[in-house]
Amino acid sequence: MLAETELDREPRGTMRIECVVNGPIQTNTYFAISGDEAVVIDPASEGERLARDFIDGHPGVRIVAIACTHGHADHVGGVAGMRRVLGEDVPFLMSEADIPIVPGAIRHLRGFYGLDTEEPPAPDRSLAEGDTLEFGDVELQVLDAPGHTPGGIVLFAATEEGDLAFTGDTLFPGGHGRTDLEGGDDATIMRTLARLFTVLPEDTLCLIGHNGTTTVAQELCANPFVREALRAHAS
């Protein structure tokens, strides 16, 4: 059973999002910036370059955390490099449930693409349902979202500009993340979809792990997996 955390939907603060597409699978690495603080979400590859480019382009803004929506190599492969530039006092955050799948995911990416993808350090803090990550004047709220991996999470924020959610590889326009990789489970991701599309506001902008964005409203109308998941949940 997925937990039933109630989201805090009271708008709070402002957040600017910058996306850098990087890595062999064209992963969306997000820089969430609020005031003079930033959080990096899913650094896929070339972590040292990502960190230096951000520092050079954002004088006065400090990266305060690195958060990963799940433990696949194309979402954690840049963590170690970023930490070398930023320092070990910048915490790496991820679900504890995904720690066991990281080595296999790294080996898979190395074997498939022939790239020497670097294994991340152990997380400094585990993220789980009900946790929050505060920076600047905003707050990211953690929702458990297993299915693509055992420890997948979604990070939701209600800001003065609107609601948004970093959904990783749980959701794609018209579909959902793969469940045929280590730790994936089709029934679980369908339960996750039903839960997410029950609790997330319809105006939520979904910032996904690859390709473009979508919204909860768009997926309620056009995603057959979401409709199927909600029907099963209601029955």
Closest CA to 118 of 149, 70, 92, 79: 79
Yes or no: say if 206 and 215 are a contact pair by the CB < 8 Å rule. yes
Average pLDDT rounded to a whole number, residues 15-38:
95
61-71 confidence digits (pLDDT tens): 999 999 999 99
Is the pLDDT at 125 greater than 60, yes or no? yes
Closest CA to 76 of 128, 151, 134, 139: 151
pLDDT for the residue 46: 92
Yes or no: say if 185 and 145 are a contact pair by the CB < 8 Å rule. no
Residue ranges of E strands in the chain: 16-22, 27-34, 37-41, 62-67, 92-94, 125-126, 132-135, 138-144, 153-159, 162-168, 171-172, 175-176, 205-208, 214-215
Is the pLDDT at 107 greater than 70, yes or no? yes
Count CB atoms within 10 A of the CB of residue 193. Answer: 26
Yes or no: say if 81 and 48 are a contact pair by the CB < 8 Å rule. yes
Predicted confidence band of residue 4 (pLDDT cuts 50, 70, 90): low
**Half-sphere exposure (CA, 13 Å, Cβ side) for 150?**
10
Which domains, ranges and CATH numbers included, belong to the chain? 16-234 (3.60.15.10)
Distance of CA 222 to the CA centre of its chain: 22
Q: What percent of the chain has pLDDT over 90?
A: 87
Give me the residues paired with residue 62 across strands.
Answer: 37
Q: What percent of the chain has pLDDT over 70?
A: 98
pLDDT for the residue 114: 75
pTM for this predicted structure: 0.95
Cα separation, 72 vs 230, whole angstroms: 27
Predicted confidence band of residue 23 (pLDDT cuts 50, 70, 90): confident
Q: What does the mean pLDDT of the chain come to?
A: 94
pLDDT for the residue 169: 97
Is the pLDDT at 2 greater than 70, yes or no? no
Is the pLDDT at 116 greater than 80, yes or no? no
Is the pLDDT at 18 greater than 80, yes or no? yes
Burial (CB < 10 A; 0-12, 13-18, 19+), residue 3, is exposed
Predicted confidence band of residue 203 (pLDDT cuts 50, 70, 90): very high
Is the pLDDT at 1 greater than 60, yes or no? no
